[in-house]
Chains A and B, each alone.
Chain A
Amino acid sequence: SAVISQKPSRDICQRGTSLTIQCQVDSQVTMMFWYRQQPGQSLTLIATANQGSEATYESGFVIDKFPISRPNLTFSTLTVSNMSPEDSSIYLCSVGGTNQPQHFGDGTRLSIL
């Protein structure tokens, strides 16, 4: 399976600021996914990022809050904008196809003060 690297692994940020999370894959993949895991909750899909097209956002998530870039087949970024304490979560990227399991990076642990 693909090796997925996320940066940063953790960060503590001030409210009102923005943070960009990077996801690098060691092979070319068509579909990349961004998830959020709030404390004590399940993993929730934020958006799907396909190279060459706009990201597709799930209900409850908007581009202004979570802008995503997908400049090539091995890289994507997720920005968490204008952060508030409610954005304190683990953010995970994953890769996978329609008939394959998804494989995850180690996540970015984000705390907002």
Chain B
Amino acid sequence: DQQVKQNSPSLSVQEGRISILNCDYTNSMFDYFLWYKKYPAEGPTFLISISSIKDKNEDGRFTVFLNKSAKHLSLHIVPSQPGDSAVYFCAARGSGTYKYIFGTGTRLKVLA
């Protein structure tokens, strides 16, 4: 049973436009969510996180939105740049635990 799902395996966006990556989860006990970016031949790099007590967290061009009632989070990248082309993973963690559950990833391609 996949508790964290990224239903879009790939996404293409024009440079300068907004990229929206989506993630759904099933476990209502998750209280901390993260996004990672992964380039080929490198490990995942932490990008941004959000606690379940918030519905939005912003860091520069990256904003994560959390909709607890829908069990949905999204990552917005504005404006998108060619260097943002990578695989993006969302991850979720239960309260008081250190164990993260990862989605299968979305490959973002930003076209110049």
Contact = CB atoms under 8 A, between A and B. Distances in A.
Nearest to B99: A45
Contact of A106 (B2, B34, B42): B42
A94 B100 CA distance: 11
Interface residues of A, number: 28
Given A43-B89, A96-B98, A104 B44 contact: yes
A102 B46 CA distance: 7
Given A42-B4, A42-B104, A98 B98 contact: yes
B34 A4 contact: no
Interface string A40-75: 111111001000000000100000000000000000
A41 B4 CA distance: 12
A9 B99 CA distance: 25
A103 interface: yes
18 contacts: A4-B43, A33-B98, A42-B4, A42-B89, A42-B104, A43-B44, A43-B102, A48-B99, A58-B99, A94-B43, A97-B98, A98-B98, A101-B49, A104-B44, A104-B45, A106-B43, A107-B42, A107-B43
